[in-house]
Structure 1
């Protein structure tokens, strides 16, 4: 199975764009023996800054999963009613139009590489419910439209983000996992798409929602029980006010240990938790498996960033046999 890395979160260019520095970063990514693909951020174009640069610097052998969350969050900052689950017709149509651009970007990348390089695109059930209205019915209508398109061999998957809960400040505040699973199951049954819909669990976002390290495991089990589990991305979080912030979706690395020299001491994501979640995925037909971490301080050197990525990827390699 392709082991994915959300490399954009660990880039030295998180606050700007220096193509020379990013080229050096990508050259180092190519030296990671565990890495076989990227979770690639979609914001409206194939690459957030320069499509030509991206196509010239990727490893031709890498595989890809697109994530739309960076573009979705950018759009929500401009229009709180934006989203595939929005009950506002203008906001919902804007999200559908955004997905059409993503569809075109997948085709462009596949054409450049001369193969089906993109295995999936991960979408989200925006808008944030604390700011705008959303519903299962609107989300189902949007997905019905999306499933009528040719996705160039990519599966259409949903990445669950933290839901809006009473008395709790959300990061995303999208639909609940129960609502999302209901929509996906219904569409799989009624439309019977060639590549069934499914859900990707992000460890940090599920723990952010549930406020317990076991929350991600519970979400994995719920999705698997309905035959809808299609992916797992590891990203840490904690309640400690460290450099990543308490209860922030800032992609903390897994906790440091004797086996993990480059990690975050306060992270709730431990090697044991990773092993437990991988074991829970046994028997599921996963399309997505990987990790996404940020690096602090933001001024960390390129060598430090690669050391973190190598150490963190090694955890998955050690325990992938649990699946």
Structure 2
């Protein structure tokens, strides 16, 4: 089994841009036998710093899943009404323009590789509802517009981020899972099977929202019951104030154990919790399956970073070897 890796969260370039350092990191990634491709961060252009560097250093056989959350969070820092679910006309128009840029970047990457290399684009339902008005109707209108574009074979999927709840401060605070699923189901009844929208569950963001590890299982079950579960990405979270921070969307590695020597002791994302989610999601059939972990300290060298990545992916390998 091979997985999608959100390698950008583990990059040694955590502050600034050093192409030589990133090249060394990518060369190590290309040697990993169980990585089928990257979850690639989109911030308005194909690569945040240098499109040509990116095209020259990627593995020609990798597949790609674009994720729009880095660019969305940057845009929200400038305009809190930005988002596909925004009830502000200008904020929604800005988000659609951003998505058009993503569509163009997908075309550029596919053209360079000479194949349909981008399998999916993960969108998120900004804006934050504690800062700006958002609605199902606005999201549906945005998606209807986006579905008129040629996505060059990439499937549009919503990655559920933590919804706004009154009980605690949000990280993202976007639409609820129920609202997102309702919009997907409504639109899918009008679409061909090839265009069907999907849902990706991010373990850490679901647990952040619910404050329970069972929250990820519940979100998986809801998306599966709706017939739209398309992906599962593992990214940890914790209530402990470590270098990753308490209740922060900082992509904590799995919890350390006898089998996981490169991990985070306080992480709530245990191997057992991951395996339960894999079983609940029929993981082998998912369009998107993988992990995205951050590394602390920020000064960690590339060998250390690869050790964490290998340890995380080994958890997935152990599940499939026993299935």
TM class, shorter-length: over 0.9
Contact 2:160 2:202 in 1 (8 A): yes
Aligned residue-pair number: 323
Work out the CA distance in 1 between the residues paired with 2:302 and 2:321: 30
**Shift in Å at residue 321 of structure 1?**
5.3
2:186 maps to what in 1? 186
Deviation per CA, 1:17-55, whole angstroms, max 9, x where unpaired?
A: 000100010011111111111000000000000000000
**Shift in Å at residue 131 of structure 1?**
0.6
1:239 maps to what in 2? 239
**1:193–1:88 Cα change, 3 Å:** farther
Aligned to 1:104, the other structure's residue is in SS state: helix
**Shift in Å at residue 2 of structure 1?**
4.5
**1:309–1:121 Cα change, 3 Å:** same
Aligned to 2:233, the other structure's residue is in SS state: strand
Consecutive unaligned residues in structure 1, runs of 5 or more: none
Contact 1:229 1:284 in 2 (8 A): no
TM-score (norm. length: structure 1): 0.98
Aligned to 1:194, the other structure's residue is in SS state: helix
Work out the CA distance in 2 between the residues paired with 1:313 and 1:300: 19
Work out the CA distance in 1 between the residues paired with 2:93 and 2:203: 30
**1:164–1:31 Cα change, 3 Å:** same
Are 1:275 and 2:270 an aligned pair? no
Aligned to 2:195, the other structure's residue is in SS state: coil
Contact 1:229 1:285 in 2 (8 A): no
Contact 1:278 1:322 in 2 (8 A): no
2:129 maps to what in 1? 129
1:308 maps to what in 2? 308
Consecutive unaligned residues in structure 2, runs of 5 or more: none
Are 1:262 and 2:262 an aligned pair? yes
List aligned pairs for 1:203-242, cutoff 5 A. 203-242=203-242
List aligned pairs for 1:71-150, cutoff 5 A. 71-150=71-150
Deviation per CA, 1:241-280, whole angstroms, max 9, x where unpaired?
A: 0110000000000011111110001000000011100000
Work out the CA distance in 2 between the residues paired with 1:154 and 1:120: 4
1:46 maps to what in 2? 46
Work out the CA distance in 2 between the residues paired with 1:260 and 1:248: 22
Contact 1:123 1:156 in 2 (8 A): yes
Aligned to 2:194, the other structure's residue is in SS state: coil
Work out the CA distance in 1 between the residues paired with 2:300 and 2:167: 36
Work out the CA distance in 1 between the residues paired with 2:264 and 2:30: 24
**Shift in Å at residue 164 of structure 1?**
0.4
**Shift in Å at residue 282 of structure 1?**
1.7
Deviation per CA, 1:266-316, whole angstroms, max 9, x where unpaired?
A: 000000011100000127841100000000000001110011111111111
**1:143–1:321 Cα change, 3 Å:** farther
**1:138–1:23 Cα change, 3 Å:** same
Aligned to 1:39, the other structure's residue is in SS state: strand
